[in-house]
A and B are shown apart, each in its own frame.
Chain A
Amino acid sequence: MTIKKNKKEKLLEILFLFFAFLSNILLVGIIIILFKESLPLFKEIKVLDFLLGRHWYPTYDPPEFGILPLILGSLWVTIGSLLVAVPLGLGAAIYISEIASTNLKEILKPAVEVLAGIPSVVLGFFGMVVIAPFLQNVFKLPTGLNALNASILLGIMAIPTITSISEDCISAVPRGFKEASYALGANRWETMIKVTVPAAFSGISSAVILGMGRAIGETMTVLMVAGGAAIIPHSFLQPVRTMTATIAAEMGETAIGSDHYFALFGIAVVLFILTLIFNIIADLVAQRFRKRIV
């Protein structure tokens, strides 16, 4: 009997080991393919020429594979989205955790999280039919499909991440800090701005970095509203082309095994490394936060 039981347990153990490793195996597999498929390009051109080249003309003869405009395009819309999402998202988090009544809080927090569930293509559509004409009229532009439009939409998409995580961190600030502040004659506003929010600062920064990761990886909305011009951006009112949009738009048109195909994989590698860096930073910051509060 005991032997049989042990066998069964062993089997279950292996099964769960498999589950535990499956996602990791997939991740490793994806990374290997990304790198493998991008390598042939670098027999043709230097890595630095790829990263810092100012011209992305993949279908010219001879083609040029400089992705600097794409990297900058991604960074511009990401930073722009943070300018939108951080004030709004953090403001919402502070309101929900510190000011709203319990009832209101129970409505608001799930409502903000629902925002995260809106498909990006729907937001992109909204950007095309509502925001684009608006920007076009206000700034007298030839097109409203530009970096600003993409920044606004990506900002809206990053708000739920920033609000939800920041709210958790602000709510987790020990009551003792607030009581100490009140006991010194601080009012609610001073306590919030000078004690509670700073105490949650590391958690809030990791929320912002995660929101940033979400924005830089987003594809569909930027493809629809960023304008798609692979030029080095000088203004938020210019059309830009991001790394993600480039891959999505061009992959279908590319011959497998061509330099263009390899270059798109190269872009994916760059994107992957950038997102990885964001996530690692967010993790480190969050760890520091936990250490300091406990």
Chain B
Amino acid sequence: MVSSIGGANLRMEVKNLNFYYGRSLALKNINMGIENNKVTAVIGPSGCGKSTFIRILNRMNDIIIGTRVEGEILLDEQNIYDPRVDVVEIRRKIGMVFQKSNPFPKSIFDNIAYGLRINGISNKTEIIDRVEMSLKNSALWDEVKDRLDDNAFELSGGQQQRLCIARALAIEPEVILFDEPCSALDPISTAKIEELINQLKEKYTIAIVTHNMQQAARISDYTGFFLLGELIEFDKTEKIFTNPSQKQTEDYITGRFG
């Protein structure tokens, strides 16, 4: 099933994507567009390939041995899997927040400063300013401004995840990928992160994987439904949740399986 949003302002485009772990085909012929300054959600039951899919979008699967990508992933019309492309540059432009919050075992400040430093920013005032800015943008500043030198592991789970978001924001990516960012969080922390994603889409293009259909319905503009490595349906979120065109989508969102 091929579906793309016609005439939209696409930031990223997935064309005829096949993905292999070793010999097994994990994703089959995926075609999908990710629109600028919108939230695109990917839903589906466990093992459907949704996390694999989002990790392809910033070449994160490159570090897993034995994986292979066929097809094209375009970012601003450029294929990010082109051999001439610098993968480091791609990942700088396409940030990522992971399922399990993974701050570095460093101070809160250094967690954010790390990304800035490796991207060549050495001016101290600029680093301090951008750390503050990104903590404000991730709605964490008020909670941590007096303890920037504390180890990041002393933060709560929700705060750690927002720190990871701040870390991704600090290097000013164009697209941010969220891989089930709330799956380990309580409802209050989840609400905070959803609110944050809603604000972030003004400046960034966002793709989010979620196992939580209500979450997709709440925060996304477009939704893709994956099943067994195939993109079954991709459309406006409203359409997917009120009037899906595929029987499997309907079965899934009405809770008949999954």
Q: Which residues of B contact A195 (CB under 8 A)?
A: 104, 114
Q: Mark B161-188, 1 if CB is under 8 A from A, else 0.
A: 0001001100100000000000000000
Q: Do B115 and A185 touch (CB < 8 A)?
A: yes
Task: Say whether A177 contacts B171, CB under 8 Å.
Answer: no
**Which chain A residues lie closer than 8 Å to B114 at the CB level?**
181, 184, 186, 194-195
Contacts of B100 in A (CB 8 A): 176
A197 to chain B, nearest CB (A): 12
Closest B residue to A176 by CB, please name it. Answer: B102
Chain B 69-94 residues near chain A, CB threshold 8 A: 88-89, 91-92
Return chain B residues, CB-CB under 8 Å to A181. 104, 114, 118
Stretch at the interface among B39-47, B58-66, B219-227: B58-66
- Contact of A190 with B by CB under 8 A: yes
Tally of A-B Cβ pairs under 8 angstroms: 69
Complex Cα–Cα for A181 and B91 (A): 10
Q: Is the interface of A mostly helix, strand, loop or mixed?
A: helix
Residues B88 and A180 in contact, CB atoms below 8 Å apart:
no
Known: A102-B65, A190-B118, A194-B118. A185 touches B92 (CB 8 A): yes
Collect the chain A residues with CB atoms within 8 Å of residue B63's CB: 178-179, 182
Check A184–B118 contact: CB distance below 8 A.
Answer: yes
Q: Which of B100, B102, B103, B168 has the most CB of A within 10 A?
A: B102
Residues 85-102 of chain A, each 1 if its beta carbon lies under 8 Å from chain B, else 0: 000000000000000001
Q: Which range holds the interface residue count of chain A?
A: 20 to 34
Q: Are B88 and A183 in contact (CB under 8 A)?
A: no
Question: Interface residues of B toward A: which range?
Answer: 20 to 34
Residue ID in chain A nearest B63 by CB atoms: A182
B65 / chain A contacts, CB cutoff of 8 Å = 102
B95 CB–A CB distance under 8 Å: yes
- Tell me whether B118 and A183 are in contact (CB under 8 A): no
Report yes or no: B105 in contact with A293, Cβ–Cβ below 8 A: yes
Task: Please measure, in the bound complex, the distance between the C-alpha atom of A194 and the C-alpha atom of B111, giving whole angstroms.
Answer: 11
Residue of A nearest to B102 (CB): A176
In the complex with contacts A102-B65, A176-B102, A179-B63, A184-B164 CB distance below 8 A: no
Residue on B nearest A190 in the bound complex, by CB: B118
Kindly state the separation between the CA atoms of A194 and B164 in the bound complex, as whole angstroms: 17
Q: Does A10 contact B (CB under 8 A)?
A: no
Chain A residues with CB under 8 A of B171 = 184-185
Given A176-B100, A178-B63, check contact A184 B105 (CB 8 Å): no
Q: Please name all residues of chain A whose beta carbon is closer than 8 Å to the beta carbon of B118 when the two chains form the complex.
A: 181, 184-186, 190, 194
- Decide: B60 and A184 in contact? CB cutoff 8 A: no
- Judge if A199 is at the interface, Cβ distance under 8 Å: yes
User: Would you call A292 an interface residue if the criterion is a C-beta within 8 Å of the partner chain's C-beta atoms?
Assistant: yes
Closest to B111 in A: A180
Q: Which of B105, B119, B164 contacts A185 (CB 8 A)?
A: B119
User: What are the nearest 4 A-B pairs in CB distance?
Assistant: A185-B92, A176-B102, A184-B115, A183-B96
Mark B residues whose CB is within 8 Å of A.
Answer: 58, 60, 63, 65, 88-89, 91-92, 95-96, 98, 100, 102-106, 114-115, 118-119, 151, 153, 164, 167-168, 171
